[in-house]
Amino acid sequence: MKTLILIPAYNEAENIERVVDHLEADYPQYDYIVINDGSKDATAEICRRRGFNLLDLPVNLGLAGAFQTGMRYAYLHGYDCAVQFDGDGQHNPQFIADMIEAMESKEADIVIGSRFVTGKKPASLRMFGNNLIQFAIKLTTGKTIKDPTSGMRMFNRKMIARFATNINHGPEPDTVSYLIRCGAKVCEVQAEMNERIAGESYLNATKAIQYMMRMCMSIIFIQWFRKKEA
C-alpha cells in the first residue's frame, strides 16, 4: 500500500530531526510529510535546512487544521493510507507494518496503534479519562475501543477522502466515534509508545481534564444526536 506518514508539528524543534532521521534511515518504504503548524520556534527552519518534506502553515491552525492539511495532501497525491504520527518521538514506526496488515486482512477503515490490546492500563488520572472516553464510545456505538486517545491512527483511502473534504472531521476520539456510527470499521493493533525526550506536551493536567470532558460531551451529547451522513 502506498503509505504516507503525517507529522503535524508545533514547536518541535528539539524533536523533529530525530523523528524524521529515524524514518528516512530505517523506514524508506513509507513517505512522510511534516506539517509545521505555525511554530514559533525553529521547527520549519530545521526542516527546510535539512531538506525534509514540509508543508509550512503560516499560522497556527491547531492539530485538527494541521492534520486536515496533511489529509488533503494525501488525497491529492493518491495515497492508499495515511498514518497520524506525533512529531515528538513518542510513536514507533515499527508498528506501521502491523497496522497495514490489519487494515488489509480485516478490511478496516481505521486502525489504531493501541497500548492496551494486550497491555494493562496503569492507574492514573489520564487513564481515568481514557476509560471515560472508552465508555462514551461504547455507550453510543456498541464498539469497544481500548485506547481511544492513542494519537497513532491509520486511515484508508475512503477515510482520507472523507477527512480531506469535511471540515468538521478532526483527528480525535469523537470523530472516530461518529465514523463508527456511520459504518466505518475500526480495529486496534498492539503498539508501544516512547516517552517524550525533549520539549513539553501541550496536555498538562488541567488541559488533560478539559480534553477528557470535551471529548465525552462531544461523543454523548453532540455526536450521538448528530444526523449521520450518507
Distance CA 19, CA 117 (A): 25
Distance CA 95, CA 93 (A): 5
Residue 229 lies in a domain: no
- Is pTM, for the whole model, over 0.85? yes
- Strand partners for 65: none
Q: What is the mean predicted confidence (pLDDT) over 186-203?
A: 78
φ, ψ at 114 (rounded to 5°)? -105, 140
Residue among 137, 130, 89, 80 nearest 109 (CA): 80
Residue 230 lies in a domain: no
Sheet of strand 3-9, all strands in order from the earlier edge strand to the far edge: 54-57, 31-37, 3-9, 81-84, 153-156, 110-114, 186-190
106-140 per-position pLDDT tens digit: 999 999 999 999 988 887 777 888 999 999 999 99
Residue among 91, 82, 84, 140 nearest 115 (CA): 91
Domain of 149 in residue numbering reads as 3-222
9-50 per-position pLDDT tens digit: 999 999 999 999 999 999 999 999 999 999 999 999 999 999
pLDDT at 143 over 80: yes
The whole-number pLDDT of residue 230 equals 43
Domain count, the chain: 1
Residue 227 lies in a domain: no
Question: One-letter amino acid identity for 67?
Answer: F
Residue 82 lies in a domain: yes
Distance CA 138, CA 151 (A): 19
Q: Which residue has the higher pLDDT, 223 or 202?
A: 223
Residue 149 lies in a domain: yes
- Grid coordinates of 131: 476509560
Residue 228 lies in a domain: no
205-219 per-position pLDDT tens digit: 677 778 888 888 889
The whole-number pLDDT of residue 98 equals 98
- Strand partners for 37: 57
Residue 7 lies in a domain: yes
CATH code of the domain covering residue 55: 3.90.550.10
- DSSP character for 220? I
- Grid coordinates of 26: 530505517
> CB-side exposure of 148: number of CA atoms within 13 Å?
29
Q: Which residue has the higher pLDDT, 37 or 167?
A: 37
Residue 33 lies in a domain: yes
